[in-house]
Chains A and B, each alone.
Chain A
Amino acid sequence: MSAIVDYKNVLERIGEKFGAKVHSPEEPYGMLTLKTDKDSIIPLLQFLRDDVELQFIFLTDICAVHFPDKAEKFEVVYHIHSFMHNLRIRIKVALSGEPKIPTAINIFKGANWMERETYDFYGVIFEGHPNLKRILNVDEMTIFPMRKEYPLEDNTRLDKDDKMFGRINVNREN
């Protein structure tokens, strides 16, 4: 079998192929985290999956983060797993302006529902997705509930007096 692969080898292989397009490696809590841009994410995933040595063949999750105060308001996060070497990598893509990113369905079939979920909660548009509609929330929902501009609390409730919760100055939609 092939030699043991660790994060150092992974970084070297990615560096050879992508250079400065993949940057800022970190290891928070012992998990390699990389950053890239939306033009490089699909080739990067393709490379990591198809490389005979690395074999990151499993997409664990796709999710997003909302940073309302940053210029790049949304960040899409990919988690991939190499069963062969028992390694996991986190890849972050920051999006400025309209949150749009190409779909990863052509690399991982399982990305379909993950991207729908991310769209459902954050409104990130995955370009090229065949069926980008809500998956978990009710179809009638008009908001993307995990975005920070929307209140977490249900706004159909009429029995809650903000005074009782010590938040007289908090603006709520209702």
Chain B
Amino acid sequence: MALDINTPQAKIVAPPLGVGGPGYYATSFDKAIGLAKQFSIWPLPFATSCCGIEFMATMGPNYDLSRFGAERLSFSPRQADLLMVMGTIAKKMGPVLKQVYEQMAEPRWVIAVGACASSGGIFDTYSVLQGIDQIIPVDVYVPGCPPRPEQIIDGFMRIQDLVHNESQRRRNSPEYKALLESYGIR
């Protein structure tokens, strides 16, 4: 039997909810843009310790984060969509991290990878920030010390869910503005 090249062999991604017929498909901008953005997230790695090493494995060909559309790391915060904080953040590093976050353009997301970024981890001490959520808002926490690359990818996919499903206008909502206000950002 000859291979039927007209029928796709794998479903790459499900279409957004909408109404379709011969020659047309109608959906909302929110859903179509969310679908596209979900697979073009540019992450900014903020790697300070061992979780950063796990992230390097995550980016490498074995685990291959680029399968999820995060092919292009942005080492400038200005073009980045996702701030990935991986590692212990000392209190002296806190203002630097906050400045990096402030330089990112909206919409922006933050993922705290590992125990240290999430809560200070084992470093319950005077010099270490007890979780980056003390200075910037965090969307997804990945537990582990350090987490496996699979876990980092899972955390990244939760970010994709957020990017996909949240309203394009969420960033204008009073709740979001109040959240940033509570961190003293802008």
Residues of A participating in the B interface, judged by any CB pair closer than 8 Å? 136-138, 141, 143, 145, 150-157, 160
Mask: chain B, 77-93; 1 = CB below 8 Å from A; 0 = not: 00000000000000110
Residues of B participating in the A interface, judged by any CB pair closer than 8 Å? 91-92, 120, 124-128, 130, 134
What is the interface of chain A mostly: helix, strand, loop, or mixed?
loop
Q: Are A154 and B128 within 8 A (Cβ)? A: yes
CB distance from B94 to the nearest CB of A (A): 8
Among residues of A, the one whose C-beta sits closest to the C-beta of B127 is A137
Given contacts A153-B124, A154-B120, list 9 more A-B pairs with CB under 8 A.
A137-B126, A141-B126, A150-B126, A154-B124, A154-B125, A154-B126, A154-B130, A157-B124, A157-B130
Complex: A152 Cα to B123 Cα, angstroms = 10
Q: Are A156 and B92 within 8 A (Cβ)? A: no
Complex: A125 Cα to B61 Cα, angstroms = 54
CB distance from A148 to the nearest CB of B (A): 13
Among residues of A, the one whose C-beta sits closest to the C-beta of B120 is A154
Contact residues in B for A156 (Cβ distance below 8 Å): 130, 134
Complex: A112 Cα to B64 Cα, angstroms = 47
Among residues of B, the one whose C-beta sits closest to the C-beta of A151 is B126
Among residues of A, the one whose C-beta sits closest to the C-beta of B94 is A138
Max chain B C-beta neighbours (<10 A), residue from A143, A145, A154: A154
Complex: A143 Cα to B130 Cα, angstroms = 18
Complex: A151 Cα to B128 Cα, angstroms = 14
Complex: A23 Cα to B41 Cα, angstroms = 67
Contact residues in B for A137 (Cβ distance below 8 Å): 91-92, 126-127
Contact residues in A for B126 (Cβ distance below 8 Å): 137, 141, 143, 145, 150-155
Complex: A141 Cα to B127 Cα, angstroms = 10
- A-B complex: 7 closest residue pairs judged by Cβ atoms: A145-B126, A153-B124, A138-B91, A157-B130, A138-B92, A154-B130, A154-B124
Complex: A151 Cα to B127 Cα, angstroms = 12
Q: A157-B120, A157-B130 are in contact. Are A152 and B92 (CB under 8 A)?
A: no
Complex: A10 Cα to B128 Cα, angstroms = 43
Q: List 18 A-B contacts (CB under 8 A).
A: A136-B127, A137-B91, A137-B92, A138-B91, A138-B92, A141-B126, A145-B126, A152-B126, A153-B124, A153-B125, A153-B126, A154-B125, A154-B128, A155-B126, A156-B134, A157-B120, A157-B124, A160-B124
